Structure 1
Amino acid sequence: MNVFISGGCKNGKSLYAQNLAKSMAEKDGRALYYVATMIPTDDEDRQRIQRHLAERDGWGFETLEQGRCICDALKGNVDARGAFLLDSVTALLSNEMFAPDGSFDGDAGKRVADELCEFARRTGNTVFVSDYIYSDARGFDQWTETYRRALAYIDRQLASVCDKVIEVAYGHIYEYEEEKG
């Protein structure tokens, strides 16, 4: 089962997603993978990564660091039939759109959406975590607006290929499933 989770920062998405991925792996005896997409750029990023690593310690996750070209995470000795937690879609888009050399790829959203949907198809058992960044009515510069529009596009594409969509808001879990028939 593919699951899409969205919500605001520091609302419990990652912990909820970890529990969900672990239960998916245990249910069918699958390998358990954490696909880490953040490429740290400062001390705050490194501290967040260390906190997430500590939170996962002892859970049985094999960490796959893949900040770009997400389907490359499935190469090597990775069992595509495993249970995957991909955290986060937001960081992945940022890595693809804003290169370390300062260049900007305004078309990254479509490519990342296609790659994530392919990842979902190839694994069939992934929890995707994304940040909800759309409630601010303030206007932003063109790069930030392009990023927000691209993330919204990716989120919609992922939601359309996932079996379940979950929103985490203020510690509350809201599950949405497509009505069949």
Structure 2
Amino acid sequence: MNYFISGGCKNGKSFHAQRVAKKMSEEKGLPLYYIATMIPIDNEDNIRINRHISERAGWGFKTIEQPLDILGCLDQIDNKGVILFDSVTALLMNEMFPVGREPKLDVAERIANELKEFCIRTDNTVFVSDYIYSDCNRFDDLTDKYREGLALLDKTLVKACDRVEEVAYGFTKVHK
């Protein structure tokens, strides 16, 4: 069963996703993988990464660092295993805004297709994404393009996944 879990920043969605993946792994007797997509760019990112590493210590996750080309990690894992994919948000950021290069504003559709393929080739993936759509501020064109791209990825995964959950303030709401 593929899951899509979304929520605001620092609302507990990654820890919730870890629990979902761990339970699925134990119930099905399958290996447990953590696909890490974040490329740290500042100390806050490093702190977040270290917190996530310590939160999943001892849980049995095998971590695969895959910040780009997400289908490339599938030859490193058992595709029938349980995969925690954290996060869709960081994957789009990495692909759209490559470090030291011009933004690639046309990547969202390609990534959406890759995520559909990822769902087809795996049976037990828990995708994590950030909900960034409720802000009423006006943003610059690059930020709007990123938000539109993430919305496309999120909608793609909502359609492709068997279960959709939203985490807010540590509480979980099931939408599908």
Q: Same fold (TM over 0.5)?
A: yes
The residue type equivalent to 1:151 in the other structure is L
For 1:146, the equivalent position in structure 2 comes to: 145
Q: Are residue 24 (structure 1) and residue 24 (structure 2) matched?
A: yes
1:7 aligns with 2:15: no
Partner of 2:51: 51
Question: Counterpart of 1:88?
Answer: 87
State how 1:66-77 maps to structure 2 within 5 Å.
Answer: 66-76=66-76
Q: Distance in 1 between matches of 2:85 and 2:8?
A: 16
Show the 5 A alignment for 1:32-181. Answer: 32-76=32-76, 78-177=77-176
**TM-score by structure 2 length?**
0.98
Q: Shift in Å at residue 123 of structure 1? A: 0.7
Q: What are the Cα deviations for residues 123-174 of structure 1, in whole angstroms up to 9, with x where unaligned?
A: 1110000000001111111100000000001100000000010001111110
Q: Secondary structure at the match of 1:150?
A: helix
Number of aligned pairs?
A: 176
The SS at the match of 2:4 is strand
Q: Matched residues in 2 for 1:130 and 1:121: separation?
A: 19
CA distance in 1: counterparts of 2:54 and 2:71, whole angstroms: 26
Comparing 112-121 with 160-169, greater Cα deviation is found at: 112-121
Q: Which amino acid aligns with 1:79?
A: D
Q: CA RMSD in A?
A: 0.8
Q: What percentage of aligned pairs have identical amino acids?
A: 56
Partner amino acid, structure 2, of 1:60: G
For 1:11, what is the secondary structure of its paired residue?
coil
Comparing 38-47 with 122-131, greater Cα deviation is found at 38-47
Where in structure 2 are there 5+ consecutive unaligned residues?
A: none
